[in-house]
């Protein structure tokens, strides 16, 4: 059977890895797909010179639209990243009747609804396994492997840079800024690390996970996002003392009132498997009604781990090139006319437990003032740590764990506590999830 021609947009880290995996495993991939898959066209302004010999016979251009418009290309693989021109290229490929594979989580999170509607109208596929958690096949697992289940919640470490920073802070007692500088030197973090450390990258991925888990439209603008830049070594140490570890989690949960969508630093019990995922690795924990909890672990980024997911999508698309579009796996797991209108909850309505750290004057009655405010708002305390004041300091750190309460109630409690004369500075608030 005639091989499938692939047009590769981008020959950077993932593009080069995709080309190498396709070339190295060509025979195995053809056996799985039923026909050969070959890169015949590529667009790149620059690429690793070591690829030059391998690219012999590939038509290379610096104009990605030439690839998208070429009638010989069957599948376009978009690995440029970002919002534009990726959106325009993908929509043009769809308009030209070409299938698309992408690793672009930002593109899918913000423009996926538009892209999938266009693909549905044209009868083509848009595959995006590599957009979430790199080489971990989490999209396929939820969309197909767990299709019999009603998903209850998903919680994931879905940004390796943030996980590396928190791991180093825990293991070596280092400051955030110090570890971030090392992450940048190692190539784990960009020169501008905002997307990683402030949770935007994880929010892109969580948007996609929530959509395929619950059958809701992609709604990136509704994700509550909080980063890890304010986490201190003291918070990490106190969490450990209380039996918890701090992870930067993306969490989405189905509730009676709607869908939770949130990314923030989270204390989770140290005994949980996901609490022991360290370094740059990713992990996603899914709770479903029939199967119970399942955990997916692996490399969340990198050349060949991400290429593994890209090539898997190419195999999937190749298998169904001639299939009736009505009988293909839906892009977002649920049939397009069966998407849910469940609302996304405002953060003030989300219910969780909390870790609170405050600096209080070392004098009688302070604890009673704080617990009195919490009691008035129906917030019960699970544990308290009160440390000796540092040498020569008039203040003492107080650490509390609360039981579950609505975020809005905790917002009000913190507002009242921070205006007490006995409390110095801001209250540090981290959310706690037991994931049981």
Cβ neighbours for 225, distance < 8 A, ≥ 6 positions apart = 198, 199, 200, 202, 203, 262, 263, 264
β strands within 256-394, DSSP E: 258-269, 281-288, 292-299, 351-361, 381-386
Exposed/middle/buried for residue 13 (C-beta within 10 Å: 0-12, 13-18, 19+): middle
* H or E element that contains 414: helix 407-418
Could you say which of 98, 205, 387, 426 is catalytic?
A: 205
Q: Which two tokens stand for residue 181?
A: 């500088």
Cα–Cα distance measured from residue 102 to residue 47, given in angstroms and rounded to the nearest whole number = 19
Cβ neighbours for 413, distance < 8 A, ≥ 6 positions apart = 373, 374, 377, 379
Cα–Cα distance measured from residue 336 to residue 342, given in angstroms and rounded to the nearest whole number = 15
Convert 60-117 into a string of H (helix), E (strand) and C (coil): EECCHHHHHHCCCCCEEEECCCCCCCHHHHHHHHHHCCCEEEECCHHHHHHHHHHHHH
Cα–Cα distance measured from residue 280 to residue 162, given in angstroms and rounded to the nearest whole number = 8
Cα–Cα distance measured from residue 163 to residue 282, given in angstroms and rounded to the nearest whole number = 8
β strands within 318-394, DSSP E: 351-361, 381-386
Q: Which two tokens stand for residue 178?
A: 């110090």
Cα–Cα distance measured from residue 21 to residue 56, given in angstroms and rounded to the nearest whole number = 16
Long-range CB contacts (< 8 A, 24+ apart) of 416-422? 416/373, 417/358, 417/370, 417/373, 420/366, 420/369, 420/370, 421/361, 422/360, 422/361, 422/363, 422/365, 422/366, 422/369
Active site residue 205: yes
- For the chain, the residue count is 436
Collapsing DSSP to helix, strand or coil, 343 comes out as coil
225 and 253 in contact (C-beta within 8 Å)?
A: no
Cα–Cα distance measured from residue 402 to residue 356, given in angstroms and rounded to the nearest whole number = 8
Catalytic residues: 205
């Amino acid at each position: 059977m005639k091989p499938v021609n692939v047009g590769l947009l981008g020959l950077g880290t993932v593009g080069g890895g995709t080309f190498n995996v396709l070339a190295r495993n060509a025979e195995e991939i053809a056996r799985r797909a039923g026909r050969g898959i070959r890169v015949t066209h590529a667009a790149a302004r620059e690429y690793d010179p070591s690829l030059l010999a391998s690219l012999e016979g590939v038509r290379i251009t610096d104009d990605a639209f030439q690839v998208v418009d070429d009638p010989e290309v069957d599948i376009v693989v978009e690995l440029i990243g970002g919002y534009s021109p990726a959106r325009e290229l993908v929509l043009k490929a769809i308009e030209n009747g070409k299938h698309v594979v992408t690793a672009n989580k930002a593109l899918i999170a913000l423009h996926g609804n538009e892209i999938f509607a266009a693909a549905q109208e044209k009868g083509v596929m848009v595959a995006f396994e590599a957009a979430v958690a790199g080489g971990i096949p989490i999209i396929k697992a939820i969309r197909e492997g767990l299709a019999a289940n009603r998903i209850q919640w998903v919680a994931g470490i879905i940004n390796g840079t943030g996980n590396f920073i928190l791991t180093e802070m825990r293991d070596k007692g280092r400051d955030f800024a110090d570890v971030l500088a090392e992450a940048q030197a190692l190539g784990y973090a960009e020169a501008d690390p905002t997307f990683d450390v402030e949770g935007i990258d994880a929010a892109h991925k969580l948007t996609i996970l929530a959509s395929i888990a619950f059958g809701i439209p992609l709604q990136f603008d509704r994700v509550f996002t909080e980063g890890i830049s304010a986490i201190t070594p003291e918070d990490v140490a106190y969490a450990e003392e209380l039996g918890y570890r701090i992870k930067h989690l993306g969490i989405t949960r189905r509730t009676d009132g709607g869908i939770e969508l949130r990314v923030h630093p989270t204390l989770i019990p140290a005994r949980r498997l996901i609490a022991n995922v360290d370094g740059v690795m990713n992990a996603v924990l899914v709770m479903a009604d029939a199967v119970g909890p399942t955990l997916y672990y692996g490399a969340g980024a990198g050349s060949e781990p991400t290429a593994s997911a890209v090539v898997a999508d190419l195999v999937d698309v190749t298998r169904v090139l001639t299939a009736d579009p009505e009988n293909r796996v839906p892009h977002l797991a649920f049939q397009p006319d069966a998407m849910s209108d469940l609302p996304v909850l405002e953060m003030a309505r989300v219910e969780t437990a909390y870790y609170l750290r405050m600096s209080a004057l070392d004098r009688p009655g302070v604890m009673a003032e704080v617990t009195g405010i919490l009691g008035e708002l129906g917030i019960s305390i699970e544990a308290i740590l009160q440390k000796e004041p540092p040498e020569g300091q008039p203040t003492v750190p107080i650490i509390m764990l609360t039981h579950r309460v609505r975020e809005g109630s905790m917002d009000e409690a913190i507002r009242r506590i921070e205006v007490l004369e006995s409390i110095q500075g801001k209250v540090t608030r981290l959310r706690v999830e037991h994931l049981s």
